[in-house]
């Protein structure tokens, strides 16, 4: 705050003449800076010693002296920011950057993207909102999900090169013939971010803590107990086979923090700063897998940069460097893909909304131009034609003229594109004689939503992780949507079906069985996907090794900066 005060005082001195020399008195300058004459003399002396200005006093009470400026406030701000960053004082740098969006964009440009600071390769990412705490269990934001996997490790993990889980804290595992006993063999050289050695007992304790969370208890419903059968072995005893178990343990919701220090993990990066305006990660030097090539990652929380009138957004694409509009052309698109995740529409069938009527709502979406004409940024979304690649959406009738109810209620949550979708659907249904009442739930998931059980139609966003089929199984098993949407009998049948699916030891058979579950939900007009997002990562020249993952982010471990980058 002291640096910002000094800069503000300097700007007050500068502004009346816009930097031209001033013939003035100490009393006038003191009034301008809201301080005493004595303090003003101290400020002038300090600024002169720093080389910012020159003050030539003249003897005699009330005599005017000559004030000459040697540096502009903009240049001074840049120098202060650079000095703060070189000293590792990121908070001071962000404090100095409290400007209007256009000015802030130009000012931060030299410091964002890839930089070597004090021989430390650092990647700085501007982000449009504060990150939520990395609490155990399910997280609603994809940025938080990605961050959890960079800070913490699980017994198993997903790799970008395989949909099947790989070893992480456990170097391998064995499964009994009946599928009821899973033994995970723990690596012998593991260290927490605080430097302490990891013990198998700590991992057991943390897993047992996770199983006290209601959502994770549902996820691991087949696990009867977890035993430490050897100093380097954890054994999961199941009461029914679950061949998704290694997938469940690889999910971000099952990563393991220290049982006594929830912010301490064993992942490739450790949390050094986690505050509303700055999140800083640093390389974990005793990481048990290949080490990251970057020393530090910083999220600079700068929502001013993403105001709509600037033509930029970080709601979905991840852009890790920014500049003036003419400088944006220097960025190169290093990775892009269509998200496997999708926004969806779910329908509660009842006396108010029959299956034929629900199917007509779905036909209105997929068999008209409604999705193709949504007034959204070009290239942001693409209408869904499949639930997952190869999982086709059942074709309805082009001539479904079933009358709709006179009134229905639609509930939806973030992302913001669903605002537009809700308004378009309301207009389209009004043309068919149905008044659609809209209810917005300001969140990214359905936790704590009391309206779920009383509405007819629901829209939301389903993020997909590294293993798409498993993520959808987890969605059916754990999301509050399904017990609220389906009748008790129907949801009990669904859970029983999922228990049968998880018994297949063969992955293709398990996937095919799960596909049939979703095909049934779609054919019964209970669920339909709406659209997928275009994920993009753009980077300035010199930032290398970036590859988009399924959450629209990139693995921080693979990014690198050449030593010559400035």
What are the pLDDT digits (tens) for 202-228? 999 999 999 999 999 999 999 999 999
Average pLDDT over residues 347-374: 92
Residue 428 predicted with pLDDT over 70: yes
pLDDT of residue 325: 37
At residue 119, the pLDDT reads 63
Task: Grade residue 238 by pLDDT with cuts at 50, 70 and 90.
Answer: very high
Q: How far is CA 545 from CA 28, 64, 151, 479, in A?
A: 57, 61, 19, 35
Residue 331 pLDDT > 60: no
Between 428 and 2, where is the model more confident?
A: 428
The Cβ of residue 50 has, within 10 Å, a number of other Cβ atoms equal to 14
User: Which of 53, 66, 54 shows the shortest CA–CA distance to 26?
Assistant: 66
As a whole number, mean pLDDT of residues 237-252 equals 97
Residue 103: the pLDDT is 46
Among 108-117, 310-319, 457-466, whose mean pLDDT is lowest?
Answer: 310-319
Minimal CA–CA distance to 481: which of 443, 518, 452, 454? 452
pLDDT above 90: percentage of residues in the chain: 57
**What pLDDT, on the 0 to 100 scale, is given for residue 86?**
63
**What is the pTM for the complete model shown?**
0.80
| CA distances to 18, 149, 259, 470, 531 from 537, in Å | 41, 19, 35, 25, 20
Q: Which pLDDT band, with edges at 50, 70 and 90, does 2 fall under?
A: confident
Name the residue with higher pLDDT: 8 or 361.
Answer: 361
Please tell me the distance from the alpha carbon of residue 316 to that of residue 39, in angstroms, as a whole number: 50
SS3 474: helix
pLDDT, greater one: 414 or 490: 490
Give the pLDDT score at 429: 96
pLDDT at 538: 64
Whether the pLDDT of residue 321 is over 60: the answer is no
- Of 217-221, 247-251, 292-296, minimum mean pLDDT range: 292-296
Of 11 and 421, the structure prediction assigns the larger pLDDT to 421
Count of Cβ atoms closer than 10 Å to residue 188 Cβ: 12
Phi, psi of 228 (to 5 degrees): -95, 95
pLDDT over threshold 80, residue 130: yes
Torsion over CA: 35, 39, 41, 45 (sign): negative
Question: pLDDT (tens digit, 9 = 90+) per residue, 68-98?
Answer: 999 988 788 877 877 776 666 666 666 665 5
Q: What is the DSSP string of 154-201?
A: -SEEEETTEEEEEESSEEEEEE-TTS-EEEEEEPSS-B-TTSPBP-HH
Using 50, 70 and 90 to split pLDDT, how confident is the model at 315? Answer: very low
Put residue 35 in one of left, alpha, beta given phi > 0 → left and psi -120 to 50 → alpha: beta
Average pLDDT over residues 123-145: 87
Give the angle 73-74-76 at the CA atoms, nearest 5°: 60
Q: Say what angle helices 507-523 and 488-501 make with each other, to 10 degrees.
A: 160
Return the pLDDT at 509. 96
Average pLDDT over the chain reads 85
- Count Cβ atoms below 10 Å from residue 37 Cβ, excluding itself: 12
Model confidence at 7, pLDDT cuts 50, 70, 90, reads: confident
Q: In a 3-state reduction of DSSP, which class is residue 332?
A: strand
pLDDT exceeds 50 at position 367: yes
The answer, yes or no, to whether residue 6 has pLDDT greater than 60, is: yes
> Which of 126-135, 392-401, 454-463, 534-543 is the least confident region?
534-543
Per DSSP, the three-state class of 113 is: strand
Q: Comparing C-alpha atoms, which of 170, 142, 137 is closest to residue 156?
A: 170
Q: Give the residue-averaged pLDDT of 161-167.
A: 86
pLDDT at residue 193 is higher than 70? yes
Which residues partner with 238 through β-bridges?
A: 223
% of the chain surpassing 70 pLDDT: 84
Q: How many CB atoms lie within 10 A of CB 18?
A: 8
Among the ranges 48-57, 397-406, 516-525, which has the highest mean pLDDT value? Answer: 516-525
Cβ contacts of 430 within 8 Å, gap of 6 or more:
436
Sheet holding 53-56, edge to edge: 22-24, 65-69, 53-56
pLDDT the model gives residue 113? 53
Residue 369's pLDDT band (boundaries 50, 70, 90)?
A: confident
Residue 107, preceding peptide bond in cis (omega within 30° of 0): no
pLDDT of amino acid 488: 95
Residue 527 has pLDDT above 80, yes or no: yes
| pLDDT (0 to 100) of residue 395 | 84
Task: Tell me what pLDDT residue 320 has.
Answer: 40
Q: Higher model confidence: residue 539 or residue 232?
A: 232
pLDDT score of 447 more than 70: yes
């Amino acid at each position: 705050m002291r640096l910002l005060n000094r800069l503000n005082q300097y700007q007050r001195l500068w502004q009346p003449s816009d930097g031209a020399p001033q013939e003035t008195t100490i009393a006038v300058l003191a009034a301008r800076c809201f301080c005493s004459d004595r303090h003003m003399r101290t400020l002038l002396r300090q600024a002169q010693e720093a080389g910012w200005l020159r003050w030539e006093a003249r003897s005699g009470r009330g005599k005017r002296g000559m004030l000459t400026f040697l540096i502009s406030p903009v240049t001074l701000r840049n120098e202060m920011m650079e000095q703060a960053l070189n000293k590792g004082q990121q908070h001071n740098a962000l404090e100095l950057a409290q400007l209007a969006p256009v000015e802030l964009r130009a000012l931060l440009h030299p410091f964002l993207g890839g930089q070597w600071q004090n021989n430390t390769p650092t990647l700085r990412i501007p982000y449009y909102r504060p990150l939520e705490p990395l609490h155990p269990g399910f997280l609603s934001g994809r940025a938080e999900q990605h961050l959890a996997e960079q800070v913490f490790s699980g017994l198993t993990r997903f790799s970008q090169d395989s949909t099947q889980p790989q070893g992480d804290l456990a170097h391998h595992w064995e499964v009994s013939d009946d599928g009821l006993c899973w033994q995970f063999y723990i690596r012998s050289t593991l260290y927490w971010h605080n430097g302490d050695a990891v013990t198998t007992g700590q991992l057991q304790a943390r897993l047992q803590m996770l199983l006290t969370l209601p959502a994770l208890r549902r996820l691991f419903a087949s696990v009867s107990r977890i035993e430490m059968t050897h100093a380097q072995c954890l054994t999961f005893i199941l009461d029914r086979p679950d061949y998704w178990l290694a997938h469940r343990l690889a999910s971000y919701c099952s990563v393991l923090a220290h049982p006594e220090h929830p912010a301490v993990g064993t992942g490739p990066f450790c949390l050094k700063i986690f505050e509303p305006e700055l999140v800083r990660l640093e390389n974990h030097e005793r990481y048990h897998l290949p080490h990251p090539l970057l020393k530090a990652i910083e999220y600079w929380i700068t929502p001013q940069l993403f105001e709509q009138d600037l033509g930029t957004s970080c709601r979905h694409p991840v852009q890790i460097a920014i500049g003036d509009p003419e400088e944006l052309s220097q960025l190169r698109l290093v990775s892009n893909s269509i998200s496997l995740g999708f926004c969806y529409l779910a329908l509660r069938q009842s006396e108010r909304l029959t299956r034929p009527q629900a199917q007509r709502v779905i036909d209105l979406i997929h068999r008209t131009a409604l999705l193709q004409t949504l007034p959204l940024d070009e290239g942001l979304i693409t209408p869904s034609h499949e639930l997952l690649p190869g999982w086709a959406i059942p074709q309805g009738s082009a001539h479904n003229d079933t009358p709709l109810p006179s009134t229905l209620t639609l509930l939806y949550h973030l992302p913001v594109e669903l605002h537009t979708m809700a308004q378009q659907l309301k207009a389209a249904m009004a043309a068919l004689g149905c008044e659609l009442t809209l209810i917005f739930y300001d969140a990214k998931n359905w936790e704590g939503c009391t309206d779920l059980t009383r509405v007819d139609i629901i829209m939301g966003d389903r993020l997909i992780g590294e293993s798409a089929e498993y993520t959808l199984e987890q969605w059916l098993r754990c999301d509050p949507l399904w017990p609220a949407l389906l009748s008790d009998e129907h949801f009990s049948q669904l859970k029983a079906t999922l228990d049968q699916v998880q018994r297949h030891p063969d992955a293709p058979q398990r996937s095919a069985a799960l596909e049939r579950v979703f095909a049934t939900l779609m054919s019964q007009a209970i669920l339909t996907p709406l659209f997928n997002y275009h994920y993009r990562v753009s980077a300035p020249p010199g930032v290398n090794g970036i590859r988009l993952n399924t959450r629209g982010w990139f693995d921080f471990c693979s990014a690198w900066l050449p030593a010559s980058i400035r």
